[in-house]
Amino acid sequence: MTTIPKQGRPAADILAELEQRKAGDAKWREGRVFSLVYHVPGAAGEAHEQLMQRAHALYASTNLLNPMAFGSLKKMETEIIEMAGALFNCPGAVGTVTSGGTESILCAVAAYRDRARRQRPWIRSPELVVPQTIHPAFDKAAHYFGIKLIKTPVGPDFRANVRAMAAKISRNTIGLVASAPQYPHGVVDPIAELGELAQRKKLPLHVDACVGGFVLPWLERLGRPVPQWDFRVPGVTSISADLHKFGYAAKGASVLVWRSIENMRHQIFVATDFPGGIYASPTLIGTRPGGPIAAAWAALTSFGQEGYIALAKQAIDAADKLRLGIRAIPGLALIGKGDATIVTFGTAESVEGATDRSFIPSLLRKVRGTGGEEIYAIADRMEARGWTIDRQHKPASIHLTVTANHGAIVEDYLRDLADSVREVRQDPSLAKSGSAPMYGMAAKMPIRGFVASKVRSVMAEMYSRGAQS
């Protein structure tokens, strides 16, 4: 379909075609996807999905661009932030609901830049000091807003190296960033120590808890050892956390929570010379769809604390079983000591050396030596068995973000994984076919700009006129 139809079609026909179109998509309800969708299992999940759809539909046409016109929507946003602030141990916190973790991060970085412009106007080349494992949304924010990311190597446990970050602070530094947990290996950075550093250097500290914000508090209440990461750490200025991840809200919804309005003030954009009137906006987008906000409010209030604790237990139990099963498969090794429900693993060969001394140098030595083609071949064989696989490099590995929905598939996954490993070990040529050599080449490519150029070309082709999905 390349033009709008001359005559409209019946709703029943349109809905039937939509059902048909999505038939070939990833089977997320069956637990065969690990990071793109967060789903509640069983009959409770079906009921929750219907609640999300109905709450979203009730506010589908509303727009929080004007909070005075949609007072009920603004009240829900306020209550969401208050609930998040209490959960993150800062009653009275302020903030906004955004369209997702990337927008939360973009808003935080822009606010830190503008804070520096007002308080330290001599800074002409602003810098953020971050660990190497920080989410690429910070690279995007830095690219958009003219900020330099100073990336530092992490320690042998894959956590931010406080000493390395301290060494990179300069007169151009406008803030520090840490993760709870970082996405690749599922570990929480030493935020208590970074908070002390931030206070000593009089810098703000942002915690990216987009993955962990709505699961770490429940894991802590279940008795799991979770490092302090939230506003209990005095130096933490702001936290981003995704409602549409372990909050099990409809996409897209995230929060950016600030310790005080004095800090959040720098996030607010105002234009006064527009002929159409005064324009004020606290987020990147102008029109702010009401549906995701209403659905997020419905999710938080429908589950309640007891519901979220139960979901967290299902998720962590599934993650623990997967870790045990992966350890039992000869030739595989876990990466990182997960503080949350992220499970990462590779082959023993690709993982060996990844935790020796300094993270980056040892990884480069090892990745350039093996390329990780074998673990990528295993990923190919898993996809052939119907799983959606998230591949990583540095080191070459497979990533699982485990949710409550994955409890039922643990045995199936481990059986298919053992079969895939056996298949690749019996036929080494599989490491030279499928996507394995492509990912292996990308992992060991020393010129990252060349890789970026190739990926950009693929994306451009995907969005070119006439491209088919």
pLDDT of residue 79: 97
pLDDT of residue 217: 98
pLDDT of residue 428: 86
Strands 332-334 and 342-347: antiparallel
User: Residue 90: pLDDT band by 50, 70, 90 thresholds?
Assistant: very high
- Of 284, 300, 316, which marks where a domain is finished? 300
pLDDT of residue 304: 97
463/260: higher pLDDT: 260
- Least confident piece of the model among 89-98, 281-290, 328-337, 428-437: 428-437
State whether 317 and 206 are in the same domain: no
- Least confident piece of the model among 102-116, 180-194, 444-458: 444-458
Q: What average pLDDT does this structure show over 56-78?
A: 92
State whether 373 and 452 are in the same domain: yes
pLDDT of residue 1: 75
* Cβ atoms of 338 and 187 closer than 8 Å: yes
State whether 419 and 325 are in the same domain: yes
Which three-class secondary structure state does DSSP give residue 334?
strand
Q: Is the pLDDT of residue 344 over 90?
A: yes
Percent of the chain with pLDDT over 90: 72
Identify which of 281, 274, 341 has the alpha carbon closest to the alpha carbon of residue 314.
341
In a domain, 194, yes or no: yes
User: Residue 361: pLDDT band by 50, 70, 90 thresholds?
Assistant: very low
Paired strand residues for 70 = none
In a domain, 36, yes or no: no
Percent of the chain with pLDDT over 70: 88
200/441: higher pLDDT: 200
- Least confident piece of the model among 36-40, 201-205, 313-317, 351-355: 351-355
* Cβ atoms of 128 and 186 closer than 8 Å: no
In a domain, 10, yes or no: no
pLDDT of residue 252: 92
> Which amino acid belongs to residue 100?
G
pLDDT of residue 463: 52
User: Residue 464: pLDDT band by 50, 70, 90 thresholds?
Assistant: low
- What CATH number should be reported for the domain holding residue 330? 3.90.1150.10
Q: What is the pLDDT of residues 295-318, one digit of tens each?
A: 999 999 999 999 999 999 999 999
In a domain, 30, yes or no: no
Q: What average pLDDT does this structure show over 372-380?
A: 89
The reported pTM is 0.89
pLDDT of residue 441: 53
Paired strand residues for 239 = 207, 257
In a domain, 48, yes or no: no
User: Residue 67: pLDDT band by 50, 70, 90 thresholds?
Assistant: confident
Tokens linked to 408: 């039922």
In a domain, 361, yes or no: yes
State whether 194 and 327 are in the same domain: no
Q: Is the pLDDT of residue 293 over 50?
A: yes
State whether 250 and 354 are in the same domain: no
Q: Is the pLDDT of residue 468 over 80?
A: no
Q: What number of residues does the chain have?
A: 469
Q: In what order do the strands lie in the sheet with 148-152?
A: 94-98, 254-258, 236-242, 205-208, 173-179, 127-131, 148-152
* Cβ atoms of 64 and 73 closer than 8 Å: yes
Identify which of 325, 344, 326, 322 has the alpha carbon closest to the alpha carbon of residue 335.
344
Tokens linked to 354: 């990844």
In a domain, 82, yes or no: yes
State whether 386 and 350 are in the same domain: yes
| pLDDT mean across residues, the chain | 89
pLDDT of residue 357: 38
454/214: higher pLDDT: 214
State whether 159 and 115 are in the same domain: yes
- Of 300, 328, 354, which marks where a domain is finished? 300
Which three-class secondary structure state does DSSP give residue 433?
coil
Among 66-70, 155-159, 462-466, the range with the most confident prediction by mean pLDDT is 155-159
pLDDT of residue 29: 83
What is the number of structural domains in the chain?
2
pLDDT of residue 368: 36
The CA distance from 175 to 170, in Å, is 10
Using alpha carbons, list the distances in angstroms from residue 215 to 49, 209, 357, 393: 19, 10, 31, 26
State whether 187 and 150 are in the same domain: yes
Q: What is the domain extent for residue 387?
A: 305-456
- Of 271, 300, 329, which marks where a domain is finished? 300
State whether 112 and 166 are in the same domain: yes
State whether 162 and 285 are in the same domain: yes
In a domain, 447, yes or no: yes
Using alpha carbons, list the distances in angstroms from residue 135 to 210, 251, 368, 412: 10, 19, 23, 30
